[in-house]
Amino acid sequence: MRFVARKANPCLRIIKRARFSNFERAHIIDAARNPIDLDERQIHAVSARIELDLRVGSAFTRMQTMQLKPLLEHLQTESDSKIISYGSCQFPTLGFIVDRYFRVQNFVPEPFWKISVIYEKDGAKVTFNWKRVHLFDRLAVTILFERCLAARTARVTKMDKKATRKWKPLPLATVELQKCGSRFLRMDSQRVMKVAEDLYTKGWISYPRTETDQFDRGASSRSRRRIAAGGRNNDKAHPPIHPVNYVASTSLSDEERRVYEFVVRRFLACCAEDALGEQTTISILYGPETFTANGLIVIQRNYLDVYPYDKWESSQQLPAFAMGETFVPTEARIGEGKTSAPGYLTEAELIALMDANGIGTDATMAEHIGKIKERRYVMTRTRGLGCCGGGGGDGRWEWRGGGGGGCA
């Protein structure tokens, strides 16, 4: 870097750099007023990483293309420009999808049996769930069920009523934006980031590429002090993604409106209070077995009023029971079911796996996912469809496989 600078201006003696992370006026002015020394070690490290990625990627891509392309029927019928690429982040990203694909394909359902108890009181039907959940031995379940019936009456052994809460979300970071965009906005990660960057350049939201999920503790506003302690990550470069200006929805495209609304609602949710409720748990002893019933009453919705993406609803309201109370269940029965296979990965799940395993950065995850889609190593389908659909948001990922694959 010094060589380039002195080549352009041989009169330079001291060379420093202005380091800034985004194009906001305050950041650029601060960087210009506080230049820093060049760190040659960082410069060389970046150069080495670039060269290693290029050399390794090129070598493996060439080898895979030459050796594997003749084996893949769907590539033999396409243009010779199609390659089977390799990348240090692309490869494990594809690996997560392939691993889940084989888990789905190789899954063998296993039958199980369970006991459920129902009791009607004060006009309410209360369902008690078995503490064991279920067992895979039908004979054992039948024996336990007969012992329950022989006891005839059930007895209340525990009553627990306590305050509970649903925590408000953390300030918004890039990885979370990509996951929520796929889950709630039905947009793939690449599209979400493109729209967010457009909103940033137009001055409506803050810089959308950040690992920070906590606001500056020195912020003066009361609302920001409440959310400062929420997260643990801070990249020391950018604040969490938040709105910086008001814009009428009529001035935005449909996708821009959805992303902008999500960013605003997420920020307001961070500034609000946790949702509050009351959780009631009743345990009964029926024969030798324990069963429990749970009820939830939402007392104060708080942040949920501005953040409809989270759901927390009141469930069955339990009638009054007394400790030691006995009763004859209205209904007791054995139910049968089968274990179910895991679903194909969703984009939100894939991003979470990449984040947990350090694959890519918040700025490149969407690019790696887009690359394996572009190479047609995977296909996506909209949740609930019986065959492969477009690459819409929160689609299920399926490995294309060596023979062209498709939907399983």
The angle that helices 347-356 and 365-374 make with each other, rounded to 10 degrees, is 130
Instruction: Quote the CA–CA distance of 404 and 75 in Å, as a whole number.
Output: 9
For CA atoms 314, 320, 326, 329, give the dihedral sign.
negative
Helices 347-356/90-105 angle, 10° precision: 120
Which DSSP string do the residues of 19-34 spell out, in sequence order? --SS--HHHHHHHHHS
State how far the Cα of 371 lies from the Cα of 354, in Å rounded to an integer. Answer: 14
Torsion of CA 141, 146, 151, 157, to 10 degrees: 10
SS3 113: strand
Written as one string, the DSSP assignment of 149-188 is HHH--EEEEEEEEEEEEEPPPPPB-HHHHHHHHHHHS---
Beta bridge pairs of residue 243: 205
Beta bridge partners of 297: 278
| Closest to 341 in 3D by CA, of 113, 103, 97, 98 | 103
Q: How many Å apart are CA 61 and CA 55, to the nearest integer?
A: 10
Residue 263 tokens read as 């960013």
Question: Please, how many CA atoms are within 13 Å of residue 104, restricted to the half-sphere of its CB?
Answer: 16
Catalytic residue among 119, 207, 260, 286: 207
* CA-based torsion, 184, 190, 195, 198: positive or negative: positive
Phi and psi torsions of 355, nearest 5°: -65, -45
207 is catalytic: yes
Name the token pair of 253. Answer: 């495209």
Cα–Cα distance, 82 to 75 (Å, whole number): 7
CA distance 106 to 324: 48
In the chain, the N- to C-terminal Cα span, in Å, equals 53
What type of residue sits at position 404?
G
CB atoms within 10 A of CB 93: 23
Question: Active-site residue numbers?
Answer: 207
